[in-house]
Amino acid sequence: MGMWFDIAANALAQSLDFMGEEFDYLGNTYKGAINETNTSEVLNFGGFETHISCEIYMQKRGFPVPQKGDRLTIRGVERRIVRTADHPTAWSIYLEDVSR
């Protein structure tokens, strides 16, 4: 990895140490920036229900390659990985409720 990416990875690690939140994945605890503000309305019997999705951004260093369909736990709530984005120094993981 180039020097610029090393600097970016170190800056991300320092930021997550300061403002990151813990979550559990594959039996280990990691830190990431967690965004649970994405909501949408899903049509269901009897009307609409609120569908909450979540995103986590974390550094690649020390984190396994996330797999679609795997589950992780945030604040005691289990979520399922529905999509990932691969960046040079970080992962973006997109999640939804396991009941979906």
pLDDT tens for residues 13-71? 676 666 778 899 999 999 888 887 766 666 777 776 666 678 898 888 889 999 999 99
Predicted TM-score (pTM) of the model is 0.73
User: In the prediction, which pLDDT does 2 show?
Assistant: 74
CATH number for the domain spanning 60: value is 2.40.10
Q: Establish how many alpha carbons lie within 13 A of residue 78's alpha carbon, considering only the half-sphere containing its beta carbon.
A: 8
| Mean pLDDT within 85-100 | 85
Q: Between vectors from CA 26 to CA 22 and to CA 27, what angle results, nearest 5°?
A: 70
Residue 37 Ramachandran class (φ > 0 left, ψ -120 to 50 alpha, else beta): alpha
Residue 23: which domain range? 3-97
User: In the prediction, which pLDDT does 67 show?
Assistant: 95
User: In the prediction, which pLDDT does 85 show?
Assistant: 93
* Count of domains observed in the chain: 1
Least confident segment among 6-15, 23-32, 73-82, 85-94: 6-15
